[in-house]
Amino acid sequence: MTKFSDLKLSPKVLKAVEEAGYETPTPIQEGAIPPALEGRDVLGIAQTGTGKTASFTLPMITLLARGRARARMPRSLVLCPTRELAAQVAENFDTYAKHVKLTKALLIGGVSFKEQDQLIDRGVDVLIATPGRLLDHFERGKLLLTGVQIMVVDEADRMLDMGFIPDIERIFGLVPFTRQTLFFSATMAPEIERITNTFLSNPARIEVARQATASATIEQKLVMFKPSRRDRAASEKTAFLRALIDGEGDACTNAIIFCNRKTDVDIVAKSLQKHGYNAQPIHGDLEQSRRMEVLQGFRDGTIKFLCASDVAARGLDIPNVSHVINYDVPGHAEDYIHRIGRTGRAGRKGKTLMICEPRDEKNLDAVERLIEGKIDRIDPPGQASKSDAPREEKPREDKPRDEAPREAKPKGRKPAAKAEPKPEARPDPAPQPETPQAPAASEPRQSGSSRGSASKRSGGRDKGVVGMGDHLPGFIAKSFEERLD
């Protein structure tokens, strides 16, 4: 079995590695370190969590131990896609270079230019930066890249997703042609392969696993979720998430919960906090100081649940993450690999859970095609069915309502049947002498024809007129006939 002592690293670097508790290199480290020490370009392809950061930090420290940096001219450059990953790389340099006198500077957003300019003016051996902030310093005339001997591009596929490829190509044009290039990525998209063919010279290709595979130490599970109604989907899904967490019990010591959108990150974090869970959000809209504070709290264990967007999916080395929960199925299948790679790191076991709604099945198919296998389905947690209880009671309440009108219908029919003979049982003998007057007055005006035409229009309402009695005076009948006409 190969040990770090067999990789021709400097004694001071080996001492730092031993103090960090490592003896055996990972496959990517074993394959990348020897050609890097020889000065060759390296193209490393490995899934996240396999130790790619040490694959370039250890040989860089060994190579840079000889020499001295000049003002505004760094000797090496490490490009990272996110602030968090850049800060993590800086921590790795602090760990492995503590016995070597090397200076470093971290150029990331959210920090004042003045402090960063002061570090660059003194001269740094290692410059760790995000592409945007690096170009900002260069355009302000505070930085020269003509002294770069070693250039590292970390998490290149993430650079592609974030739209940094034009910036990367520009930076490649600013550094010397004779530089050594170390290029690391978890996946190899066609655009990334084009860049490697353009800017790398006869690289040593180290591919320790099939592209876009998850670590074998990660247990992957999938649970289907279907909301009862669209307007209740958000509240029911957060309740479903809490039920999943409770179902894991003590096995869930901490967890990263990934959401596709920043707004959902805040919603999920607030929902968990409301129900007594120790959770905090982290996404790109937070200030850098707050993001670092939350990450440190999660590492220390003072924060148990980290609700994150994909800003935390790439490259963050938090070794003891027991669970990763995908609150949403990622829109890009490659993001699934990086998300679940936050657990099961350095040979440890981990577990992932993913919630899939019917609308996410297309994205789920893309994920399963990428990993070339189906994710194990599990039954929804029993606690999630509590939210359905109020909906089951509604039909029971409706039954007595349906029976009540049935009992009321016959009651309404009986008085209607008794009321029909009432107008016929009113014989009035007194007004009989007046009966010829009413028709006599109406005959010259053809009251019969007008009544007949009125009865046709009204659908037989003539009976109602007769029912009023033939004893009415003639002038009342005349006005009534005119109204009908």
**Tens digits of residue pLDDT in 219-232:** 999 999 999 998 99
- 10 Å CB burial of residue 199 (0-12, 13-18, 19+) is buried
**CA gyration radius, the chain:** 41
3-state secondary structure 56-122: HHHHHHHHHCCCCCECCECCEEEECCCHHHHHHHHHHHHHHCCCCCCCEEEECCCCCHHHHHHHHHH
pTM of the model as a whole = 0.63
Secondary structure class of 168 (helix, strand, coil): helix
Residue 434 has pLDDT above 60, yes or no: no
Burial (CB count within 10 angstroms: exposed 0-12, middle 13-18, buried 19+), residue 293: middle
The 10 Å CB-count burial string (b at 16+, else e) for 439-448 is eeebeeeebe
Query: Is the pLDDT assigned to residue 15 strictly greater than 50?
Result: yes
3-state secondary structure of 137: helix
In 3D space, the residue among 271, 266, 261, 267 whose CA is nearest the CA of residue 282 turns out to be 266
pLDDT at 377 over 90: yes
Q: Hey, what's the torsion of the CAs at 466, 469, 474, 476, to 10 degrees?
A: -80
**Angle of helix 27-37 versus helix 52-64 axis, rounded to 10:** 30
Would you say residue 47 has pLDDT above 80? no
Euclidean distance between CA atoms 382 and 471, whole angstroms: 81
Choice between 319 and 367, residue whose per-residue pLDDT is larger: 367
Tell me the pairing of strands 150-153 and 104-107.
unpaired
Asked if 306 contacts 282 with a C-beta cutoff of 8 angstroms, the reply is yes
* Structural domains of the chain, with CATH: 4-207 (3.40.50.300), 218-390 (3.40.50.300), 430-485 (no CATH)
- Percent of the chain surpassing pLDDT 90: 50
Identify the weakest region by mean pLDDT among 155-159, 210-214, 423-427: 423-427
Report whether pLDDT(468) > 60.
no
* Average predicted confidence (pLDDT) for the chain: 81
For the segment 192-203, what is each residue's pLDDT rounded down to a tens digit?
A: 899 999 999 999
pLDDT by residue (tens digit) across 68-114? Answer: 888 889 999 999 988 888 988 999 999 999 999 999 999 998 888 88
Asked if 329 and 364 touch (Cβ cutoff 8 Å), the reply is: yes
Q: Which has more pLDDT, 415 or 141?
A: 141
Q: Note the residue count of the chain.
A: 485
pLDDT digits (tens, 9 = 90+) for 303-312: 999 999 887 6
| The pair of three-digit structure tokens given for residue 15, joined into one six-digit string | 């001492």
Q: Is 402 exposed, middle or buried (0-12, 13-18, 19+ CB in 10 A)?
A: exposed
Q: What is the pLDDT of residue 382?
A: 67
Q: Model confidence at 162, in pLDDT bands (50, 70, 90)?
A: confident
By the 8 A CB rule, do 352 and 323 touch? yes
Q: Which residues of 115-136 are buried (b: 16+ CB within 10 A; e: fewer)?
A: ebbeebeebbbbbbbbbebbbb
Alpha-carbon distances of 71 from 65, 100, 114, rounded to whole Å: 17, 19, 15
Q: Are 112 and 183 in contact (CB under 8 A)?
A: no
Q: In what order do the strands lie in the sheet with 104-107?
A: 104-107, 126-129, 76-79, 150-153, 180-185, 42-45, 204-207
- Asked if the model's pLDDT at residue 472 lies above 80, the reply is no
Please write the tens of the pLDDT for every residue from 256-288. 999 999 899 999 999 999 999 999 999 878 887
For β-strands 150-153 and 180-185, DSSP reports them as parallel
What pLDDT score was predicted for residue 398? 44
pLDDT at residue 299 greater than cutoff 60: yes
- Please give the C-alpha separations between residue 432 and each of 105, 428, 436, 481, in angstroms, as whole numbers: 121, 8, 8, 22
Q: DSSP 3-state assignment of 261?
A: coil
pLDDT for res 19: 93
Whether the predicted pLDDT of 246 surpasses 50: yes
pLDDT the model gives residue 402:
44
Interatomic CA distance for residues 384 and 382, integer angstroms: 5
